[in-house]
C-alpha cells in the first residue's frame, strides 16, 4: 500500500521489527512551548522504547508523563531509499525498583560522558512507518487516486 | 565548551556549516495536537532551510506559518560519536513568484514519487548543536560543575 506521496506504508509489525534494528532514534517533545528534538540511543523492549537520561536534564523534565514522538530512520542518501518509523506515546520515568533493576541489566549504555541514571519509557501507541523506493522501482501507478 | 551531559556545545557558525553537509533532516511539527516528525531532504539556503512538500500534505498544512524544529545529525553508531544540530524557526510557504523561480532552480529534487511543488522555508532563528565524543577522548574534567 502506498500513501499520497508515493511512499510505501509499513504495517505495525514491520515497524516494530525495524525499530529493533537501530541504536539511535530521535525523541520529539515540547520545551518551553517550542518544538524540541534530541537524538538518543535506545532499546526496543517489547512494545516500549527505553532511553536513559541524565537526572535534571531538559529531556528528563520535558518527558515526564507527556506525549512524545520517537522517530527512527535508515536512509541511503545516495540511492534515495530507506525507511522511517515514528511512534507516538506517553513517556514516563520508571520508578518501580524491580523494573529499574531489570532495565539496568539491558544492554543500554549512555554514550554521553555524564551519568544517565534515569530510565524513561515510551509506551508505543500510534505507529507510523514509510519506505521510500526511488528510481526505476517507483510504483507511480500504485498511487492512490 | 561542554554541557552538563558532557557533550561539546557547537557555535552557530559551525552548526550552519554542518547543516550544509547533509541531504536529509527531520522536520518537527504538531499535527492534531500531537508531536509529529518527518524526514525530508532539504537545502540550506543562506540562513533558511528549504524543503519541498506535496500540496495538500499533512506537512504542508502543519507547517503553514508555525514554529517548527528541524534536526540534522551524523552519528556513527559503532564509534559512538557524531553531531546533531537543531534549529527552531518559523516555517512558511513560499508564495512570491520570483522567489519560487529562484528556489525551483536550486538542486533540490523530491525523493518521493508524487509531485512536491510547494516550497516551504524555515527561517533559522534558534540554533543548537552538540557533538558527542566517546571513548578515551571524553573530557569529563571539562564538565560544568
| pLDDT tens digits for range A1-52 | 999 888 999 999 999 999 999 999 999 998 888 899 999 999 999 999 999 9
Beta carbons of B50 and B19 less than 8 angstroms apart = no
Q: What is the pLDDT of residue B63?
A: 84
Which phi and psi angles does A98 have, rounded to 5°? -65, -40
Question: B37 and A29: CB-CB below 8 Å?
Answer: no
Question: B57 and A139: CB-CB below 8 Å?
Answer: no
Q: Mean pLDDT across the stretch A102-108? A: 93
Calpha distance B107→A50 (Å, rounded) = 39
Q: Output the pTM of the full model.
A: 0.90
DSSP string, B11-67: PHHHHHHHHTT-SEEEEEEEETTEEEEEEEE-EEETTEEEEEE-TT-HHHHHTTTEE
Beta carbons of A87 and A27 less than 8 angstroms apart = no
Residue A39 distance to chain B (closest CA, Å): 7
Q: Could you report the per-residue pLDDT of B32-68, keeping only the tens digit for each?
A: 888 999 999 999 999 999 999 988 888 888 888 899 9
Assess A17–B contact: CB distance below 8 Å, yes or no: no
| Grid coordinates belonging to B11 | 557555535
Chain B hits for A143, CB-CB cut-off 8 Å, are 113-114
Question: A34 and B75: CB-CB below 8 Å?
Answer: no
Q: What is the DSSP letter of A2?
A: B
Q: Indicate the residue of A5, A39, A57 with minimum beta-carbon distance to B57.
A: A5
Q: Mean pLDDT across the stretch A116-145? A: 78
Strands B66-76 and A126-132 come out as: unpaired
Question: B75 and A139: CB-CB below 8 Å?
Answer: no
Q: What is the pLDDT of residue B142?
A: 54
Average model confidence (pLDDT) for chain A? 90
Is the model's pLDDT at B135 over the cut of 60?
Answer: no
Is the model's pLDDT at B71 over the cut of 80?
Answer: yes
Report ipTM (2 d.p.): 0.88
Q: Could you report the per-residue pLDDT of A11-23, keeping only the tens digit for each?
A: 999 999 999 999 9
Distance of CA A61 to the CA centre of its chain: 18
pLDDT band at A96 (very low <50, low <70, confident <90, very high): very high
Amino acid at each position: 500500500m502506498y500513501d499520497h506521496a508515493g511512499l510505501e506504508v509499513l504495517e505495525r509489525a514491520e515497524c516494530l521489527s525495524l525499530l529493533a534494528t537501530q541504536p539511535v532514534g530521535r525523541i520529539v517533545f515540547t520545551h518551553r512551548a517550542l518544538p524540541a528534538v534530541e537524538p538518543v540511543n535506545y532499546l526496543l523492549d517489547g512494545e516500549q522504547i527505553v532511553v536513559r537520561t541524565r537526572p535534571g536534564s531538559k529531556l528528563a523534565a520535558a518527558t515526564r508523563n507527556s506525549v512524545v514522538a520517537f522517530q527512527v530512520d535508515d536512509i541511503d542518501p545516495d540511492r534515495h531509499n530507506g525507511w522511517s518509523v515514528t511512534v507516538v506515546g506517553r513517556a514516563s520515568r520508571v520508578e518501580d525498583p524491580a523494573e529499574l533493576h531489570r532495565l539496568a541489566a539491558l544492554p543500554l549504555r549512555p554514550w554521553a560522558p555524564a551519568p544517565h541514571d534515569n530510565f524513561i519509557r515510551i509506551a508505543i501507541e500510534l505507529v507510523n512507518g514509510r519506505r521510500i523506493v526511488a528510481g526505476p522501482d517507483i510504483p507511480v501507478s500504485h498511487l492512490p487516486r
